[in-house]
Amino acid sequence: MNNAVKLRAFGKANLSLNITGADAKTGLHRLDSVMMSVDCFDTVTVVERDDEDIRVRFVNADIGDDNTAAKAARAVQKAIGGNGWDITVEKGIPIGAGLGGSSADGAAVLRALDVLYKLPERGADMRALALSVGSDVPFMLTGGLARVRGVGDDLFFMENKLRLFIVGVMCGTSSTARAYAEFDRLYPQKTHCPTDNDKLCEYLLDADDGALGLMGNALYAPVAKLLPDLEKTIARLESFGAAVNMTGSGGMALGYFTDMQKFCDCVGALRADGECRVFAPTRTGVLHERITV
C-alpha cells in the first residue's frame, strides 16, 4: 500500500491589489494586496510512487507539463530526495479567472508532502519552498484573510468580521503575463496604488461595510484593454448595488454584497441571462485527508 493524501485546494479573491514597484533583484512586481480564500476548490490527490518519477494528470483540463503541481513536487524532491509521486488534479477553480487555481494546486502538493513526510523535520523550509513555486503560494498554504506584501513573502493574517456574499462573472480568459506587460506599458514607473489597504484592513476587522468602497485593483485598466467585456460586466454588477472588483489579473469580475436580498436579486437576474458563480469566504487554504491506495 502506498502513502496517499487527498486535498481540497481553495481559490482566492483579491479584495485589493496595489502594485508598489519592482523587486531590485528579481524584477518581479511588488504587491500590497488583501487576499481572501473563497469556497471554490480543486481536488488534488498525491500518491507515493515506487520510483523517482513525478507524474501530474489533470482530469478535466488541458494543462501542460509546466504546471505548479509538478513544480512544487520537484522542489520537494530536490530538498529531501526520495521517491516520486502520481498527482491527480480535478479542476473546480475556473481557469484564467484570477482566482489562483494554479497557486492552489502548488500549495496542495506542498501540504500533501508535508503531511506525508513532515518536511520541516527533514530540513525543508516550507516558506522558501512555497515562494519558489509562486508568489501567491505562501498565502494559499494557510488561507483565510491576509495582507500580502512584497513578492508574497510578507504576510499578515487577520480575521474577517464582515459578512460578504459574492457573485462572479467571467469576462474572458486573461493571461497574467500579458496583464503585467500592459501594466508596465501604462505605468512605466511600475507603481499604481488605487486603494488604501490600511483602512481596508481596519474596516474588515471592524465589520464595517465601508470596506466595500475600498476595493481596487492596479491591473484593472491593463486588463480592461485586453478583455472588452470587463467594463460592461462591472457596470452590470454595479447596477444591482454590488461593490465590484476584478480579482488578480482577471478575467473574472466579482460583485460583493453585505445585503443578502440584493445579492439574491443579482444572482437571479444573472442566472436568467447566463452563467454566473457564487462564492463565500472560507477560513482555510487547503484541507486534507489521508487515504490508502
Catalytic residues: 12, 136
Burial environment of residue 123 by CB neighbours within 10 A (0 to 12, 13 to 18, 19 or more): exposed
Report the C-alpha gap between 62 and 44 in whole angstroms.
16
User: What cell does 149 get?
Assistant: 506584501
255-261: Cβ within 8 A, 24+ apart: 255/166, 255/167, 255/168, 255/169, 256/164, 256/165, 256/166, 256/212, 256/215, 257/164, 257/165, 257/166, 257/167, 258/162, 258/163, 258/164, 258/165, 258/209, 258/212, 260/165
CB within 8 Å of 36: residues ≥ 6 apart = 12, 13, 15, 144, 145, 160, 281
Q: Evaluate the CA torsion angle 131, 132, 136, 142 in order and state its sign.
A: negative
> Are the CB atoms for 149 and 192 separated by under 8 Å?
no
State the Cα angle at 137 between 134 and 143, rounded to 5°. 160
